Structure 1
Amino acid sequence: MDNDSLEVRGLTRTFGDLTAVDDVSFTAPAGLLTGFVGGNGAGKTTTMRMIMGVLAPTAGEVRFGGDPVTRTARRAFGYMPEERGLYPKQPVLDQLVYLARLRGIAAPRARAEVLDMLDRLGLAGRSKEHVEKLSLGNQQRVQIVAALMGTPRMLVLDEPFSGLDPAAVDGMVDLLAEHTARGVPVLFSSHQLDLVERLCERLVILKSGRVMADGAPADLQQAGALRHRLVAGGDAGWVRGVPGVHAVDVDGPVALLEVADDASLQRLLAAGLERGGVRELTPLKPTLAQIYREVTA
């Protein structure tokens, strides 16, 4: 299972004159959560559909475990589509057991597994209700169970946390952790950057169908614009005149700064000592939201 990484190589998809996905390449490593982020229309869902074979790529390929992905291989993938595929007038348990059996899971095992996951996501008491009677958040939980049934070798989840309350998010995170612990790569899209920052060990940022950033969050932070928070002994307006220092914001004695290099940092400190002292100068790593804004601007 160690080599079961997902590789996307040069995926491209056009619709007439529109290029929705443009030469997208990245890896979702085995045993890691990979966040797939971008604005509306960035190409996330189209890419996921090509990974799952729902759409044929105009160019490029998808590989898993080093080999081209086949229809047989995809049968072992768990997929949660953007447009949910539940039957609204069927009871939750019956529907999930039916979907599990379509994936080749024996009925007794399917029933036990479904009941366990419903319980862990807080839906044990709703198993006999029709899906249409559930709230949108609870329908989302049912869809999650449908994607995680069996022993998937890969998980492709389009906005899995949308509409979930904090307790359901925690339950979902625990379930995903069990899959990554056995070496399963997990690729999921989300607009919730704070959640992506908390969970992901790898990040892919799309804009207009192209990869703008790809890597571990710590590496992306290291490569991003390093800022400093300065607290001066008096008003910090003087920082605007220091060569190599860009004042992002100044509010009384507190300033948020971008410093070009070590020499500029030394000039900043020297200027501060001449103007009443520097009480604090702290480097600030960029947040994921700041990196996202920088690379998609």
Structure 2
Amino acid sequence: MLEIKDLRKRFAEKVALDGVGFAVRPGEMFGFVGANGAGKTTTMRIIMGVLKSDGGSVTWQGREVGYGERKRFGYMPEERGLYQKMRVAEQIEYFGRLHGMDQGAAGRAAAALIERLGLQERRGDAVETLSLGNQQRVQLAVALVHDPEVLILDEPFSGLDPIAVDALAGALQERCRGGVPVIFSSHQLDLVERLCDAVGIVSAGRMVAAGTVTELRAAESRTLKVVVRDPAPGWAEGLPGELLLQGDRQVLLTTEGDDQEILHRAVKAGRVEHFGVEQPSLTEIFKEAVA
């Protein structure tokens, strides 16, 4: 697996990374989330060798990552690194050649990715004429053309419409199913929650939470939600939590108390339309973790 241990990085007086660490297994999609300036891009640049860390290690399959390993990685930076005057097909093929592919293999890989990512009608267009979404598709194709062993993507879904998001997400899921570990950063937490097997939350250069979404949810306080329609007045008096009014319904939200007693009182008070533990969203988990 790809393992990042105790990464540290300082720029003059600013501490950018203070012991960042996580692991991504083959076939796992890992969402790396945090506010602007939290340390996500710095971490990814260190993994790819664009920056040198002040401490810590990056290993792939138990070996420290060097030039040879990074040649087999696929990287998609937040700032697009495409040649604007170059046409789509020749651009993807060119990057394949840079990774050591022969012309025939690079051409075949480029053609397959153009079809997979819905770029057939734009294959002969210059990159500068493409929309943001189509430029992102080309950038992803460039990261995938050499069939990488690891994928590292910095904000790949930024500014994309839902159709482009689905196209990119589908391509990444295919790679995961083939055993490739995928790391991507994003501010779109609902998308991270939908796609990722595991999540790491970084704040001010430090990891504040990491694990599967299920594990992160389990670490949060459980909230019991009870919805009662047309309840008898005062049915929730003395019960812990917050009582909300929603038309002819009353909603009790509580993290304490005896579930059976609460259910008994709710049933006696009126028609119980909902009784269950609410799962916190990744957005709620994120807010709690960085608070």
5+ residue gaps, structure 2, are none
Which residue in 2 is equivalent to 1:163? 159
Q: Deviations over 1:79-100 (max 9, x none)?
A: 0011110111111222221111
Deviation at 1:127, TM superposition (A): 1.4
**Equivalent residue for 2:107, pick from 107, 111, 114:** 111
Determine the structure 1 residue equivalent to 2:242.
247
Whether the 8 Å contact between 1:30 and 1:183 is mirrored in structure 2 is yes
Q: Which residue of structure 1 aligns with residue 85 of structure 2?
A: 89
Distance 1:196 1:69 in 2: 26
Specify whether residues 154 and 241 from structure 1 end up closer, same or farther in structure 2 by C-alpha distance, changes over 3 A only.
Answer: same
**Distance in 2 of aligned mates of 1:277 and 1:129:** 62
Following superposition, the deviation at residue 242 of structure 1 comes to 3.2
Which residue number in structure 1 is paired with residue 8 of structure 2? 12
- In the alignment, the residues of structure 2 paired with residue 47 and residue 39 of structure 1 have an alpha-carbon distance, to the nearest angstrom, of 14
Alpha-carbon distance in 2 for matches of 1:291, 1:256 = 21
Matched, 1:142 2:155: no
Give the TM-score, by structure 2 length.
0.92
Distance apart, 1:274 and its partner CA: 6.2
Question: For 1:249 and 1:68, how far apart are their aligned partners in 2?
Answer: 55
Aligned residue runs from structure 1 range 1-297, under 5 A: 5-234=1-230, 238=234, 241-242=237-238, 245-247=240-242, 249-251=244-246, 253-260=249-256, 263-272=257-266, 275-276=269-270, 278-297=272-291
Instruction: Give the drift of 1:238.
Output: 4.8
Root-mean-square deviation over aligned CA pairs: 2.1
Q: Distance in 2 between matches of 1:83 and 1:236?
A: 59
Q: How much does 1:52 deviate?
A: 0.6
Residue type matched to 1:246 in 2?
G
Assess if the C-alpha contact under 8 Å between 1:158 and 1:189 holds in 2. Answer: yes
CA distance in 2 between counterparts of 1:239 and 1:11 reads 54
SS of residue in 1 equivalent to 2:27? coil
Deviations 1:106-163 (A, max 9, x none): 1111112112211221211111211111111111111110001112110000111223
Partners of 1:33 and 1:91 in 2: CA distance: 31
Gaps of 5+ in 1: none
| Number of aligned residue pairs | 290
Q: Is the 8 A contact 2:226 2:251 kept in 1?
A: yes
Distance 1:236 1:70, change over 3 A: farther
Report the alpha carbon displacement of residue 205 of structure 1 after superposing the two structures with TM. Answer: 0.9
- 1:161-185 per-residue CA deviation (whole Å, 9 max, x = no partner) reads 2233323222222322232222211
Q: Distance in 2 between matches of 1:239 and 1:225?
A: 24
Identity of aligned residues (%): 43
> Aligned to 2:210, what secondary structure does the other structure show?
strand
Alpha-carbon distance, 1:247 to partner = 1.4
